[in-house]
């Protein structure tokens, strides 16, 4: 059992920022991560909208974040937090490897990818269906792949894949994309990105690996032979480990201006909280505010 003042769950950009600010304020904390330091940044092809970097690979930015932790002498505790509950003003966290007690908890757990909900879908996870172009794109060099989604992530990753694969069939259920105009124009200018709008995917087939998808628009049905399907249709907040009731909006944690949830001393930062824009700049903003608020309360 490990005891600390602040326990940060998740080491994406929001959790890392919270850790840096706590370190500089001299407040003891544990920064806990279940998989990769950098969170979703490490899974992003290119980041072109983060001030200070005209354009940077997601992996490089994640490595910079890791380096900054090292320079600040911040260690990462690798564990998956399975449950969090509060008793007598303290939080009890149960990990796969250890148990922890803390006065404050900062949830920086981000979001999980949504699937399409089709028959056979799970059978093809890792066998043609992927949620990460940067992780799996290279497996499909010079092949034809499909990508579904219409937001910035979908457009960015379609552009990334277009430089590796033969053709990208970009499928979106609406005529208009939700993403930034710059990205939409780049996608439209790319010869090997073929747009299917408004289309939905209604069938996945293949023996041991995805081989074909069926797409539908009004009455029109088409089959596309593909080696892979990349899914970017949205996210669900990662909050299942929290065993206490808090105020939610659409599943996302509602916080006050200091990033505190409706449960005293429980903070939620980054993509996991209710907000209008889920980006690196807003994630790091939240991390700084939460740690500053905790520091202020500790010094009162």
Binding site for ligand FAD (CB under 6 A): 9-15, 32-36, 39-41, 43-44, 47, 49-50, 80-81, 108-110, 153, 156-157, 238, 241, 270-271, 278-281, 283
In sequence order, the β-bridge partners of residue 230 are: 130, 147
Nearer to ligand FAD, 157 or 187 (CB): 157
Nearer to ligand FAD, 4 or 279 (CB): 279
CB 223, min distance to ligand FAD, A: 27
Q: Which of 32, 48, 98, 135 is catalytic?
A: 135
Nearer to ligand FAD, 197 or 279 (CB): 279
Nearer to ligand FAD, 56 or 216 (CB): 56
Minimal CA–CA distance to 158: which of 122, 128, 194, 211?
194
CB 143, min distance to ligand FAD, A: 20
CB 268, min distance to ligand FAD, A: 9
d(CA 125, CA 286): 33
d(CA 151, CA 85): 35
Q: Whose structure tokens read 């990205």?
A: 183
Q: Which of 57, 98, 119, 136 is catalytic?
A: 136
CB 220, min distance to ligand FAD, A: 29
Nearer to ligand FAD, 123 or 190 (CB): 190
d(CA 7, CA 81): 11
Nearer to ligand FAD, 156 or 170 (CB): 156
Instruction: Identify each DSSP E strand in 64-130 by its residue range.
Output: 76-78, 81-87, 90-95, 99-107, 111-113, 129-130
What residues contact 130, with CB distance under 8 A and at least 6 apart?
136, 228, 229, 230, 231
Q: Is 136 known to be catalytic? A: yes
Q: Is 79 known to be catalytic? A: no
* Contact criterion met (CB below 8 Å) for 82 and 95: yes
Strands lying side by side in the sheet with 200-205 = 200-205, 212-217, 220-225
Q: Which of 57, 98, 132, 144 is catalytic?
A: 132
Minimal CA–CA distance to 129: which of 216, 196, 211?
211
Minimal CA–CA distance to 169: which of 138, 193, 197, 199?
193
CB 154, min distance to ligand FAD, A: 8
Q: Is 132 known to be catalytic? A: yes
Q: Kindly list the catalytic residues.
A: 132, 135-136
């Amino acid at each position: 059992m490990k005891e600390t003042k602040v326990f940060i769950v998740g080491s994406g950009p929001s959790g890392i920022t919270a850790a840096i600010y706590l370190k500089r304020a001299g407040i003891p904390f544990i920064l806990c991560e279940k998989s990769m330091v950098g969170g979703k940044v490490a899974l992003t092809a290119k980041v072109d909208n983060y001030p200070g970097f005209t354009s940077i690979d997601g992996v490089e930015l994640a490595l910079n974040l890791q380096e900054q932790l090292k320079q600040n002498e911040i260690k990462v505790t690798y564990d998956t937090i399975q449950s969090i509950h509060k008793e007598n003003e303290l939080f009890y966290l149960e990990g796969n490897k250890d148990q922890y007690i803390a006065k404050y908890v900062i949830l920086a757990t981000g979001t999980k990818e949504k699937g399409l909900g089709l028959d056979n879908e799970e059978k093809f996870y890792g066998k043609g269906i992927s949620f990460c172009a940067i992780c799996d794109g290279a497996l499909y060099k010079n092949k034809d792949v499909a990508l579904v989604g219409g937001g910035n992530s979908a457009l960015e990753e379609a552009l990334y894949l277009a430089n590796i694969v033969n053709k990208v069939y970009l499928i979106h259920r609406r005529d208009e994309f939700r993403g930034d105009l710059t990205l939409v124009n780049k996608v439209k200018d790319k010869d090997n990105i073929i747009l299917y709008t408004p289309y939905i995917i209604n069938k996945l087939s293949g023996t041991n690996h995805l081989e074909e998808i069926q797409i539908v628009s009004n009455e029109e049905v088409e089959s596309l032979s593909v080696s892979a399907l990349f899914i970017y249709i949205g996210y669900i907040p990662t909050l299942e480990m929290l065993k206490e009731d808090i105020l939610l909006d659409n599943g996302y944690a509602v916080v006050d201006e200091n990033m505190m949830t409706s449960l005293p001393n429980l903070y939620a930062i980054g993509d996991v909280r209710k907000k209008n824009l889920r980006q690196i700049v807003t994630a790091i903003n939240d991390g700084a505010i939460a740690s500053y608020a905790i520091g202020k309360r500790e010094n009162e």
